[in-house]
Every structure is written in C-alpha cells, then in structure tokens.
C-alpha cells in the first residue's frame, strides 16, 4: 500500500498521532495501517535502551553494542570508504537490536574547541564534514536501516542549547553551517533529518519554515522525514506548519493538532503530509533485510581499524616512534588512560561496548620477550595532584629507555549538555609529564580527548605526540598497532590546534549571553581565519605525520566543461615504510585585501603506497567549488577571474599550485543603475557600454581621467545619481544600459 493510500485510510486523529512518538524511542502505531518505528542513538554505535520503566529521558543503561570511534576520530581518518563500512556495521547491529532508524551522524561544525559535543562532530570544515557524514549515511542505509542526520541547524554549543538564538548572517549560514547537511541530503539521501534545539536568528529550528521547508525540501530536494531533537518542539502547530513532521518524545498534545485543523488554524493537508512522511519512512525501512545478530569479533576489529586509521601523529622528532617491539629495552607506560581506556564521550551517544582493550594490555601482548613494560598510573582521573603517584612514575621513568605517557581529558570534561571553559590538559598531568621528562630522555605522549587540547605549553617535553582522540572500544589495540609500527599513522587533523584559546576566531563571541550567540567571526571559522590572516597555530588543519615521507609531482588541471575541471597530482612514497598520504585540494583566492577566506578545502584523497611506489590522485572541481554566497543577490555566485588550485599535505603545507580562470556563472552581469561608475568602467562588458553612453552624452570621460581627484569621486557615484550631475546622461539612458546588460547576460547564463 502506498503512503498516500494509507494516509487516506486514517482519520484526522490518527494522522495527528503519527506526528508524535508513542514512547521515548518509538513512533505511534495505528491499527493495521502502520507499526511503530523504533529509533535509537547513534551516532557511533547503537544505544538500545533496556526496556526499563521510569527512564523518560532514556539515559539509563543500554544493551551491548560495538562502540566505534566517535566522529572526531573517524573524521580524522579522511577515509569515506572506511566510514561507509562503519556505517554498515552500525546498521547491522541496529537491525539485530530491532532498530529502524539510527539517530546520526552529527555534522555540526566545530566553531569553538570548547563545545562539549565536538567529539560527536567531524570538523571545523563543512566539506569534509559533508563527505564523511554522507559516507556514514550511505553505510547505514545500505542495509535499509534509516539514518537521521543531525542537528539541523547551527547547533555548535551546548550552553543554553534549548533556548539560545544562533545569530548568523546568511552568507555564513550558506558557506559554513548548511553545506554539510546540503551535501548529505543531495548525495546520500538520508531517510530523516533531526532539527536542533536552538533558535536560528530568533526562530526555533523546530518551527523554522525557511530551514525545514524552503531550504531543506524546496531547494535541496529532501524527501524524508524531519523529526525534532528530544524535547525541541515548543509549539506543536507552528512546528508542523513549518515542516517538522515528528515530535520526539511525545508530549501528549496531538489534540492541539486536531483542534487547530477543526478551527481552521492549520491546513489539514499539512497533517496528512506529515503522516504520509512517517508512512513513507516505515515503508522504506520495511524493505530492509532483518538480521538476528552480528560478528562481534569482526566488528571489534573494524573498530580497531577505524581507530588506527584516525590517530594523528602530531610530532615525531628523531623518529622516536615507532618502537621496535623486538628490541631489548625498558619501556615505562605512564598514565591511568593506558590502563583505563578513555574511548567515548558522555551523553546520548554513550554506548555500552561489547568489550574494551586497554593500551597497556595491548602493548604487553604485542612486545617481544626482550622488551620489559612497566606501568605507573601517574595520576588519578579526578584530576587531583597525587605526589606519591608522580614519584612512583618518575622512579620507573628514571630506569626506562623510553616513556609512553598517556594523557587526556576525563569523560566528565566532554559531554552533551556542557561546554568546556578552557582547552588545557589537567595541571596534575602536566606536572607529571615535566617530572618524567626530567628523568627520561625519550618521551612519547599519547592523547585521549574528544575536543582539541592545547599542546604548546608542554609539547617541548615530548619528542613524539600521537593524538588518539576517542578511539572507541578497540582503541588499546589500535594505539599499540601504531606505537609498535605494525601500521603507520594516517590520521589528519580536521580541526586546527591553536596555540591558545584566545586565538580562536569565535573566542570573543562563544558561547554568547542573554539568549543570543552572535557568530561575529562569520565565515572565518578554523583555518579560514588562521590562514586568511596568516596567524600562527600549534598544528594546522589537515596536518598529520606518518612513518614515511611523500613527494608531490606533476600537478595537472584540465577544463572538462563549463566551470568543470579535473585536477590530478602524483604522490610518491619516498620513504621505507608502507603508509597512506592524504592529498588535500584547496581552492585559493589571493587578494591583497581579503574579501573571502583565503582558501577552502574542496577535495581530498587518501592513498596507501609501498616504499618507492607512485599513484595519481584525482579531483573533480565544479563552479560550486569557486562560488560564494552573494547576500545582495541571495544566491551563490561565481565571479569571473582567476583562482589558484593548491594541493598539499595540510592547509599549511601546500606542495604544488596552478592558476585557472573562470568566466563566472554568466548569470547576468550584475550591473544595475545603482552600480557605481567605477563598477561599470571596470566591467568587461559594462565598461565599453558606459564609455560610449558618456561620450554620446558629450561627457569627456578623459577629462575625469586627467583629474585623478575628480575620477576617484566620480567612480564611487552610482550611475543613476550621476544623471543629476551630468544633464546629458539621462535616467532613461542608464536604465536602458542596465537592461541591455542584464538581457545579454541572461543569454549567456550557465549552470554553476
């Protein structure tokens, strides 16, 4: 039965019941027309609540499932194919646990490192957020389980999240906060989208018609269901009318919908449409094969591979890493995080793992008989200073050839509902590191944290730093794989590590106050700020070392159509170990006075190469990659002119460049009667036209050019206003000029 036919069989009351859940995790069943759907977090593992009474918020225990690395980690793999496989594994477990829709991925932008849920998000950059988020959706839905991309939109902090208005200009919205959602909707076609708690420019996301209907559906073609975040609806009728189809969890207010229809305040088709979308979602997931179980060991190994592929080697002076597991050596492992694996964040994404392996156990199992591994916790997870623990660790370090120091943030520091107030590691841990470094000459630090931590104040005490992020339940084995060289690190930063919190572009505006958070930094989020202003950072976006080196050569760019190019570059492994390189492509605009971010990530390719081997990395560029949002025109626009294609190993390690030109999008020459004389004179088509008009109006333009002050003044005057100064130049002439250009431009309109 089609959704439309089923909807027609429903009474208004039944239709209204489908627009809200029946329990914390279920939609509403109706007779023999539709069964309840079961929803569950996500995003990096299934949190299938045990059916326990008295847990309205659904935050009690859940049934065991594989805890894969959260998005902060998986995003750092820069490997969409891996993300597809993780998504499919999550879907397999969802199916076995009776879940129809997984509430994830989360793709909000990391505007500030302080956001408590940054561990659940991919990046400061919308391109990689969109590509990795789409891959997760593709993986989840490859088994017919639904994915629900979240939180739409501009949910970039936890502080006051249910009330705060994210005040953001349209250009920033379109270039930073919406593109990841747009890419996922257009490319991966998620079955559902979850609106966020916050307001956007004063209007709650749950009743933001422009976002939920005009942008999401009418512009992007989304044909799935929009559900609320849990408790995000403030006005049932307004939400439904704006395009929110499902309130979760239920608030027992379906009668408000029926009454509003009966009183003529709500169009009944709005209700039937929302009910139909619920039925369509049911129909889509009903096509899924059902699984009873999954291979627990295989999924654990996949979690291990994902964590291994995502850790970022920040520094490795003197090639301290990898350690040789067969060498005769004393290794001291220091830090409670080596014994107690820190592998995920707090809140709704918290998964009950099927098992965990600690770095200490994994290291001990992996080293040979000639390597002695000692351990000292060094600190307690409550952050208190404990001199005895420090002394114990220092004593072992004094006898060691190398110290592996596991530092990081306690889970309480990074959770839903809370933002951090600083980005430092606990002082007790830094004290320990300094003491250890004072007695052991070779120190490698391994980090466990979901949000970026500052490293500048302590990294001098370590020859190597491996950022392990939150590695999921198999993190211990994954880190051992990298520390002992069974695999080379291949993660890259998807978020800049600043020297100081004060250097972060949003610092003056985050988290806002008095119900508003102004996005004063605009589009200049992350590397878009640091690289445009050439500000120093501790480690740049895209950075990551490995156990070999790579060369870039033979950059080519070929135009393949209207505003379409194919860019290729050769990568060569110039070292002596198999490893992966992540070649990154940025589109750059070198302007004396910046009018847009200096460069933006527009493509990446992760390629594994044996020593001495080479391969071509290939990227496709389109006009959209060059465009910026024109607030004045309320659309994306490609300006004619030159742009630079940069290819490199990070946003600050550009290896090769080439310059290309675009004729622009040809959608009207954008000159109007109110464009200034200067804009007309500088325009390739408008210039000759206005000179001719001025000459016919016997205005000796050369006169102005012999009088620089006069010309400077004249150039800044809108053409229509010049008519008052130059009688021979009539408004009719000016309007005719503008109309002619607009008409001519329309003739050459090109798809952008």
Residues that bind ligand GLC (CB under 6 A): 41, 103, 150, 229-230, 348
Residue closer to ligand GLC (CB basis): 102 or 734:
102
Least distance in angstroms from the C-beta of 530 to ligand GLC: 29
Residue closer to ligand GLC (CB basis): 150 or 523:
150
Alpha helices in 550-628, H assignment, sequence order:
623-626
- DSSP category for residue 502: G
Least distance in angstroms from the C-beta of 125 to ligand GLC: 21
Residue closer to ligand GLC (CB basis): 36 or 742:
36
Least distance in angstroms from the C-beta of 553 to ligand GLC: 45
Residues forming beta bridges with residue 148, ordered by sequence position: 192
Residue closer to ligand GLC (CB basis): 229 or 305:
229
Least distance in angstroms from the C-beta of 148 to ligand GLC: 8
Q: Is 229 a catalytic residue?
A: yes
Least distance in angstroms from the C-beta of 494 to ligand GLC: 20
- How far is it, in rounded angstroms, from Cα 114 to Cα 374? 35
Residue closer to ligand GLC (CB basis): 229 or 481:
229
Least distance in angstroms from the C-beta of 222 to ligand GLC: 18
- How far is it, in rounded angstroms, from Cα 513 to Cα 494? 28
Look-up: residue for tokens 């098992």? 355
Tokens of 431: 């004290």
Per DSSP (E only), the strands in 598-730 are 599-609, 614-622, 628-630, 635-637, 641-650, 653-662
Residues forming beta bridges with residue 644, ordered by sequence position: 588, 659
Residue closer to ligand GLC (CB basis): 198 or 329:
198
Least distance in angstroms from the C-beta of 365 to ligand GLC: 36
Residue closer to ligand GLC (CB basis): 348 or 506:
348
Nearest to 43 by CA among 12, 18, 68: 68
Calculate the alpha carbon distances from 297 to 290, 304, 356, 405 in Å: 20, 10, 12, 29
Length of the chain equals 752
- Phi and psi at residue 205, to the nearest 5°: -55, -30
Nearest to 313 by CA among 579, 610, 655: 579
Least distance in angstroms from the C-beta of 390 to ligand GLC: 39
Residue 367's SS3 state is coil
Residue closer to ligand GLC (CB basis): 195 or 538:
195
Q: What is the CB neighbour count within 10 angstroms for residue 263? A: 8
CA 133-135-136 angle, to 5 degrees, is 65
Long-range own/partner contacts, residues 434-437 (CB < 8 A, 24 or more apart): 434/458, 434/461, 435/390, 435/393, 435/394, 436/334, 436/378, 436/393, 436/394, 436/397, 436/403, 436/405, 436/461, 437/461, 437/462
Q: Which is catalytic among the residues 41, 79, 167, 229? A: 229
Continuous segment of H or E residues that includes residue 372: strand 371-376
Please identify every residue annotated as catalytic.
Answer: 229
């Amino acid at each position: 039965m089609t959704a439309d036919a089923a909807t027609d069989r429903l009474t208004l009351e039944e239709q209204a019941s489908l627009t809200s859940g029946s329990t914390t995790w279920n939609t509403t069943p109706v007779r023999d027309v539709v069964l309840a759907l079961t929803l569950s977090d996500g995003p990096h593992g299934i949190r299938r609540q045990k059916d326990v009474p008295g847990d309205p918020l659904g935050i009690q225990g859940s049934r065991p499932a594989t805890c894969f690395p959260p998005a902060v980690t998986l995003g750092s793999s820069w490997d969409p194919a891996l993300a597809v496989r993780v998504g499919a594994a999550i879907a397999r477990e969802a199916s076995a646990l009776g879940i129809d829709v997984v509430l994830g991925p989360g793709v909000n932008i990391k505007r500030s490192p302080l956001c408590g849920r940054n561990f659940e998000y991919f990046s400061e950059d919308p391109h990689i957020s969109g590509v990795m988020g789409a891959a997760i959706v593709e993986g989840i839905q490859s088994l017919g389980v639904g994915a629900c991309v979240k939180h739409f939109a501009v949910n970039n902090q936890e502080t006051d999240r249910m009330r705060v208005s994210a005040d953001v200009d349209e250009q920033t919205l379109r270039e930073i906060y919406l593109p990841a959602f747009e890419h996922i909707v257009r490319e991966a076609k998620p079955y559902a989208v979850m609106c966020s708690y916050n307001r956007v420019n004063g209007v709650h996301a749950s009743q933001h018609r422009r976002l939920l209907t005009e942008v999401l559906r009418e512009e992007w073609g989304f044909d799935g269901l929009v559900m609320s975040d849990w408790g995000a609806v403030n006005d049932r009728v307004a939400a439904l009318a704006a395009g929110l189809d499902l309130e979760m969890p239920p608030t027992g207010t379906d009668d408000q919908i029926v009454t509003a229809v009966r009183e003529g305040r709500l169009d009944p088709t709005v209700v039937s449409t929302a009910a139909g979308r619920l039925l369509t979602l049911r129909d889509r997931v009903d096509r899924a094969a059902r699984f009873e179980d999954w291979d627990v060991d295989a999924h654990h190994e996949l979690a291990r591979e994902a964590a291994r592929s995502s850790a970022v080697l920040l520094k490795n002076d003197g090639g301290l890493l990898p350690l040789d597991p067969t060498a005769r050596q004393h290794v001291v492992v220091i830090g409670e995080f080596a014994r107690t694996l820190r592998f995920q964040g707090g809140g709704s994404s918290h998964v009950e793992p099927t098992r965990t392996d600690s770095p200490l156990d994994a290291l001990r199992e992996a080293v040979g008989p000639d390597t002695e591994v000692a351990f000292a916790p060094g600190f307690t997870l409550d952050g208190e200073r404990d001199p005895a623990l420090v002394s114990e660790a220092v004593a072992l370090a004094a006898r060691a050839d190398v110290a592996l120091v596991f530092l990081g943030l306690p889970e309480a520091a990074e959770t839903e509902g809370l933002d951090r107030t600083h980005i430092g590691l606990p002082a007790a841990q830094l004290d320990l590191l300094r003491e250890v470094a004072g007695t052991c000459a070779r120190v490698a630090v391994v980090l466990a944290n979901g949000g970026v931590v500052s490293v500048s104040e302590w990294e001098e005490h370590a020859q190597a730093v491996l950022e392990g992020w939150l590695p999921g339940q198999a993190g211990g084995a994954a880190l051992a794989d990298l520390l002992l060289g069974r695999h080379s690190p291949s993660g890259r930063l998807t978020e800049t590590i600043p020297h100081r919190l004060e250097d972060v572009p949003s610092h003056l505006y985050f988290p806002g106050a008095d119900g508003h958070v102004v996005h004063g930094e605009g589009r200049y989020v992350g590397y878009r700020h640091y690289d445009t202003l050439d500000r120093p950072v501790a480690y740049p976006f895209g950075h990551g070392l490995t156990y070999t080196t790579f060369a870039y050569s033979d950059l080519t760019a070929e135009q393949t159509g209207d505003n379409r190019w194919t860019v290729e570059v050769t990568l060569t492994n110039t070292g002596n170990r198999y490893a992966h390189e992540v070649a990154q492509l940025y589109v750059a605009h070198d302007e004396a006075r910046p009018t847009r971010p200096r460069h933006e990530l527009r493509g990446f390719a992760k390629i594994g190469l044996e020593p001495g081997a080479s391969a071509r990395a290939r990227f496709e560029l389109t006009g959209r990659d060059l465009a910026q949002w024109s607030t004045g025109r309320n659309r994306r626009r490609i300006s004619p002119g030159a742009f630079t294609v940069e290819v490199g190993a990070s946003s600050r390690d550009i290896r090769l460049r080439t310059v290309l030109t675009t004729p622009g999008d040809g959608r009207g020459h954008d000159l109007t009667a109110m464009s200034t004389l200067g804009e007309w004179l500088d325009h390739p088509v408008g210039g000759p036209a206005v000179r001719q008009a001025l000459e016919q109006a016997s205005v000796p333009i050369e006169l102005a050019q012999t009088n620089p002050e006069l010309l400077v003044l004249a150039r800044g005057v809108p053409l229509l206003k010049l008519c008052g100064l130059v009688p021979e130049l009539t408004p009719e002439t000016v309007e005719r000029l503008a109309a002619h250009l607009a008409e001519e431009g329309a003739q050459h309109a090109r798809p952008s």
